[in-house]
Amino acid sequence: MSAVPAPTTTAAPAPAVETPIRRFLRTFAEDRVAVLGFSLFALIVLLAVCAPLITPQNPYDLAKVDLMDSRLPPGERMGDGFTAWLGSDGVGRDLYSGILYGLRISLMVGALSGLIAASIGMSVGLLAAYAGGRVETFIMRIVDLQLSLPAILIALILVAALGKGVDKIIIALVVVQWAYYARTVRASALVERRKEYVEAAQSLGLSTRAIVFRHIMPNCLAPVIVILTVQTAHAISLEATLSFLGVGLPQTEPSLGVLIANGFQYMLSGRYWISFFPGLALLLTIVSINLMGDRIRDVLNPRLEK
Amino acid sequence: MLSFLIRRVGQALLVIVAMVLIVFFGVHVIGDPIWMLISPEMDQQAIAQTAAALGLDKPIQEQFLYFLKGLAVGDLGRSFIHGEPAIQLILSRMPATLELAVVALLMAIVIGLPLGLYAGLNPDSPVSRTIMAGSILGFSLPTFWVGLMLIMFFSVMLGWLPATGRGDPQTVLGFETSLLSLQGWAYIALPALNLALLKISLIIRLARAGTREVILMDYVKFARAKGLSRQRIVQVHVLKNIMIPIVTVLGLEFGSLMAFSVVTETIFSWPGMGKLLLESIQRLDRPVIVAYIMVVVILFVIINLVVDILYSILDPRVRLTEAKA
């Protein structure tokens, strides 16, 4: 576990002290597929962050977009002189540029909603575990109730009531996700609070707040990190789905889902690339996160430790 | 058993009340449905008339009271767009959705179970590794994008199967189905496969994990020592025992299939409840959204209940009163 110091203190001249993070990184890197996933994900994030520097066209700059360039197949030359390696979409935007800008929105929505949901879920889970009694019953009832319904159904109902927009989709995704964190954190906090170090902290006279946030919470982090990776991939996919259905992000904020939706109408006439390439980018993003997540779960699972 | 039932029904009511409140007042905040109904040529008077006819001219609290009054006599209101009673509209679309979900579920079992069983019996063979890699991919693939790719490949490029629509439905024994003709199966093939994909991956994983566990059990060893054929051990002893978790999960997943059919139905223009829900969300057709929530949540409760009861029959060690307090 992350915050428990490794038993290096007993060996007097410890040759090389391995911090928990180092050990985590070393075990993580033992799996080649996971490293591949990580590299792919790092590359995707890098491309998204550097999008304005490495794309030939700003797809939001209407002055740069020419309707004459619309629906060009991959590899054609655009009016501005550069080559559209992935083709262009229905209104003449270079798809490569559009995908990198779209990735920014998709990644931001996924990461932000994941982090907010994790912090809310953790707080609620800790509260449930520590308060006990009616508060706990009440919170866990809501969690169970919510987890018994499919995420996409809740998300659809929420966007029906909230409307379109980045902020609204983030709210919807947070509501969909928080319960997973709350349930997990409560379960591990219940185990942790009976351990001796908590008793020690209590007899030292530390405040409940200090015990919960400084001592118990760090020890509940491992499963949270695992859920965070899986849920971020899930959130990105869910946002893309909602945007594809036309109830997620508006046209002014073209995430990958919006790009794919725009290409849908050209699909039947055989112009596959407008939907295909943004979808491929989405797929690679999700797969890379899932590959990392699989490995992180194995590494952080104490039952599998040698 | 009775207290178990009462608790279940209570939970369902809670969900319905919460969701209906969110939708009722949420849709009101997003926009006035009246703007979706009028045409540009209408003058102020005509607009006011339309609003009055639908009760949209009153304040939202009053509209809600009116809705509650209707609810008391089983009336969920009329669709703003279609003019029909909302509940009737939903129920008329339900057979198509159920048909799609059932075919998808069967597809998931027929494809997923043998693959998972094989992967569990031969965990180290290259074929098994491919199957498992494929199942990870199946989890990662966004459903809607796979749907598009299926259309592109099978409809546009190969021209084998129709991309959108449903075969002509016929009524058999009170059920409406399009599966009596070959044409109906051609229409359902792609959407059902699309919907089944996630569940295929899930069943592969469950079947593999179950098989690896069961194969180590004493009764399998005993059956082997008794000299039973491998085929018989797999078919009788292994299969029966891995079915318990699979049946449970599948039952619960049937609800998620129905929810995910919103996506599939929209892509393949399948005339079911999901497509109707999406159109209603886009056009702020509040009565239909509310009716959909009620129907689906009730359906969910029934499914969960049936699964719980089935589970206790399949596995006598489980007692209903203790499960899921």
Q: Is the pLDDT of residue A305 over 70?
A: no
Question: Between A273 and B319, where is the model more confident?
Answer: A273
User: What does the pLDDT average to over A259-288?
Assistant: 84
pLDDT tens digits, one per residue of B202-225: 899 888 888 888 888 888 888 888
Looking at residue A117, what is its pLDDT? Answer: 94
Q: Say if A12 falls within a structural domain.
A: no
Count up the domains in chain A and report the number: 1
pLDDT tens digits, one per residue of A36-53: 888 999 998 988 888 777
Contacts of A263 in chain B (CB under 8 A): 148
Looking at residue B316, what is its pLDDT? Answer: 66
Residue A231: closest C-alpha in chain B:
B140
Query: Is there a contact between B292 and B273 (Cβ–Cβ < 8 Å)?
Result: yes
Question: Between A97 and A306, where is the model more confident?
Answer: A97
pLDDT tens digits, one per residue of A18-41: 777 888 888 788 878 888 888 999
* B282 interfaces chain A, CB cutoff of 8 Å: yes
Q: Say if A20 falls within a structural domain.
A: no
Residues of A with CB under 8 A from a CB of B: 141, 144-145, 148-150, 152-153, 156-163, 233, 237, 240-241, 244-247, 260, 263-264, 267-268, 270, 272, 275-276, 279, 282-283, 286-287, 290, 294
Looking at residue A120, what is its pLDDT? Answer: 94
Q: Say if A78 falls within a structural domain.
A: no
Query: What CATH number does the domain containing A262 carry?
Result: 1.10.3720.10
Q: What is the ipTM score, two decimals?
A: 0.78
Question: Between A75 and B78, where is the model more confident?
Answer: B78
Across the interface, do A157 and B23 touch by the CB < 8 Å criterion? Answer: yes
Q: Is the pLDDT of residue B312 over 80?
A: no
User: What does the pLDDT average to over A292-303?
Assistant: 77
Q: Is the pLDDT of residue A6 over 60?
A: no
CB atoms within 10 A of CB A299: 22
* B259 interfaces chain A, CB cutoff of 8 Å: yes
Highest mean pLDDT among B96-105, B237-246, B296-305: B96-105
pLDDT tens digits, one per residue of B119-140: 888 878 888 888 888 888 888 8
What is the SS3 assignment for A106-155?
Answer: HHHHHHHHHHHHHHHHHHHHHHHHHHCHHHHHHHHHHHHHHHCCCHHHHH
The fraction of chain A above a pLDDT of 90, given in percent, is: 17
Across the interface, do B140 and A287 touch by the CB < 8 Å criterion? Answer: yes
Band (B323; pLDDT cuts 50, 70, 90): very low
C-alpha angle A15-A18-A21 in degrees, rounded to nearest 5: 170
Question: Between A111 and B226, where is the model more confident?
Answer: A111
What would you report as the CA-atom Rg of chain A, rounded to the nearest whole angstrom? 23
User: What does the pLDDT average to over A280-301?
Assistant: 85
Across the interface, do A159 and B23 touch by the CB < 8 Å criterion? Answer: no
Looking at residue A258, what is its pLDDT? Answer: 86
Q: Is the pLDDT of residue A247 over 80?
A: yes
What mean pLDDT, rounded, does chain A reach? 81
Q: If you search the block for the tokens 């707080």, which residue do you land on?
A: A123
User: What does the pLDDT average to over B299-323?
Assistant: 69
User: What does the pLDDT average to over B82-101?
Assistant: 84
Q: Is the pLDDT of residue A212 over 50?
A: yes
The fraction of chain B above a pLDDT of 90, given in percent, is: 2
Band (A15; pLDDT cuts 50, 70, 90): low
Query: Is there a contact between B198 and B143 (Cβ–Cβ < 8 Å)?
Result: yes
Among B81-95, B111-125, B308-322, whose mean pLDDT is lowest? B308-322
**Which pTM does this prediction carry?**
0.82
Q: Say if A283 falls within a structural domain.
A: yes
Q: Is the pLDDT of residue B87 over 60?
A: yes
User: What does the pLDDT average to over A229-233?
Assistant: 89
Q: Say if A69 falls within a structural domain.
A: no
Integer CA distances (angstroms), A106 to A45, A136, B249, B313, in order? 11, 35, 31, 45
What mean pLDDT, rounded, does chain B reach? 79
The fraction of chain A above a pLDDT of 70, given in percent, is: 83
Q: Say if A83 falls within a structural domain.
A: no
Query: Is there a contact between B292 and A156 (Cβ–Cβ < 8 Å)?
Result: no
Q: Is the pLDDT of residue B292 over 80?
A: yes
Question: Between B5 and B203, where is the model more confident?
Answer: B203
Band (B83; pLDDT cuts 50, 70, 90): confident
Distance CA B99, CA B258 (A): 10
pLDDT tens digits, one per residue of A160-203: 878 888 888 999 999 999 999 999 999 888 888 888 888 898 88
Both structure tokens of B76: 């969920």
SS3 A159: helix
pLDDT tens digits, one per residue of B148-184: 888 888 877 777 777 777 777 777 666 677 766 777 7
What is the SS3 assignment for chain B?
Answer: CHHHHHHHHHHHHHHHHHHHHHHHHHHHHHCCCHHHHCCCCCCHHHHHHHHHHHCCCCCHHHHHHHHHHHHHCCCCCECCCCCCEHHHHHHHHHHHHHHHHHHHHHHHHHHHHHHHHHHHHCCCCHHHHHHHHHHHHHHHCCHHHHHHHHHHHHHHHCCCCCCCCCCCCEEECCEEECCCCHHHHHHHHHHHHHHHHHHHHHHHHHHHHHHHHHCCCHHHHHHHHCCCCHHHHHHHHHHHHHHHHHHHHHHHHHHHHHHHHHHHHHHCCCCCHHHHHHHHHHCCCHHHHHHHHHHHHHHHHHHHHHHHHHHHHHCCCCCCCCCCC
* B137 interfaces chain A, CB cutoff of 8 Å: yes
Q: Say if A223 falls within a structural domain.
A: yes
pLDDT tens digits, one per residue of A77-125: 666 666 666 777 767 677 888 888 889 999 999 999 999 999 999 999 9
Q: Report the gap between the CA of B232 and the closest CA in chain A (Å).
A: 34
Looking at residue B325, what is its pLDDT? Answer: 39
Contacts of B262 in chain A (CB under 8 A): 152, 156, 245
Domain limits for position A263: 26-59+91-304
The fraction of chain B above a pLDDT of 70, given in percent, is: 87
Looking at residue B1, what is its pLDDT? Answer: 65
Nearest to A267 among B19, B27, B152 (CB): B152
pLDDT tens digits, one per residue of A214-223: 888 888 888 8
Nearest to B143 among A141, A241, A276 (CB): A241
User: What does the pLDDT average to over B263-287?
Assistant: 86
Intra-chain end-to-end CA distance of chain B, in Å: 12
Looking at residue A269, what is its pLDDT? Answer: 75
Highest mean pLDDT among A143-152, A193-202, B180-189, B302-311: A193-202
Q: Say if A274 falls within a structural domain.
A: yes
User: What does the pLDDT average to over B101-118?
Assistant: 90
